[in-house]
Amino acid sequence: MLRDAVRALAEAKIAPHAAAVDEEARFPREALTALTANDLHAVHVPEEYGGAGADALATVIVIEEVARVCASSSLIPAVNKLGSLPVILSGSEELKKKYMSPLAKGEGMFSYCLSEPDAGSDAAGMKTRAVRDGDFWVLNGVKRWITNAGESEYYTVMAVTDPDKRSKGISAFVVEKSDEGVSFGAPEKKLGIKGSPTREVYLDNVRIPADRMIGEEGTGFATAMKTLDHTRITIAAQALGIAQGALDYAKGYVKERKQFGKPIADFQGIQFMLADMAMKIEAARQLTYAAAAKSERVAAGGGEGDLTFQGAAAKCFASDVAMEVTTDAVQLLGGYGYTRDYPVERMMRDAKITQIYEGTNQVQRIVMARNLP
């Protein structure tokens, strides 16, 4: 029922704008309006804070179905979870009430600020500093590759509070867009997901109350990594949706396109390509859903188990599948697939980022190797 409802909404309210959003590199305002109106913009927020209280699997299905028609729009529910999950996992009850309620109501989105110009895969090498000043913290630094920066009202920011302790000297904070000293760089000119702004976030003597620290001092990096264990699964879901959208379009096209007097779908070479695409998508779906179920059990206090491995595996596998399937979809459409008149070239461009963000797939393999079940 959830899948059917989200698919109907996505096809009616989001899909018609997907090409223009990509072409004009503009934020998908129509998608945000439609998702918020139907309480699908941040389904993961617990009911006690006014949210839908969706579990990890339901959240994955929402993201998957939105990504099937528009990858940029799927980053609204995905990044709202990424940005706010540190607060849910480690924040005080006061902090949760203060920020989860407006998020649930659609009064502001949440972004996640971990990466920096010189701290990508080596996130613990960050330089952004937070210095205590009485009842306040003062933040200075630059965060790079921040999804939905400028559109979001709230930002989970990782900053160094004790430079001598490396990862154990990093703390997490909630920074608001309206805080004095917060500004944004120009939107990056990207290959794909053009409707989701990616910008630098500048922190220039940003003074915030001490109670906006998420968890204890020095626990920020651990919270960041724990967050990624859960949210890499949402990137797997995004990749899965992109791949499914490409397969669905290609499947319809090959039944219509005729060569040598019959639909090209009648040729075994084409059928084998479609069979392989569908098989790999289904394998990615099962891995992603199993990881989501594991994520939910861990969130409910079921122990860490092998969630770190499962999350990395789902993200890595699903994104590799998305890249392969969308490339094959372009091939199935031939010359038409290479034009912007058809959606599969956009899907291929969008798929690429799923192999890169929230940890490159090379890093996912390192994570998996270190956490073999």
Instruction: Tell me the catalytic residues.
Output: 358
Residue 251, number of CB atoms within 10 A of its CB = 15
The rounded distance, in Å, linking the Cα atoms of 56 and 78 is: 11
Tokens of 148: 């939905």
What residue ranges in the chain does DSSP mark as E strands? 110-113, 129-133, 136-147, 154-160, 170-176, 182-184, 198-209, 213-214, 258-259, 262-263
Three-class DSSP category at 204:
strand
Q: Are 354 and 239 in contact (CB under 8 A)?
A: yes
Which helix (H) or strand (E) covers residue 76, if one does?
helix 71-90
Q: Classify strands 136-147 and 110-113 as parallel, antiparallel or unpaired.
A: unpaired
Task: Label residue 209 exposed, middle or buried (CB < 10 Å: 0-12, 13-18, 19+).
Answer: exposed
Amino acid at 259: Q
Tokens of 190: 């990207």
CA 153 to chain centre: 17
Task: Label residue 259 exposed, middle or buried (CB < 10 Å: 0-12, 13-18, 19+).
Answer: exposed
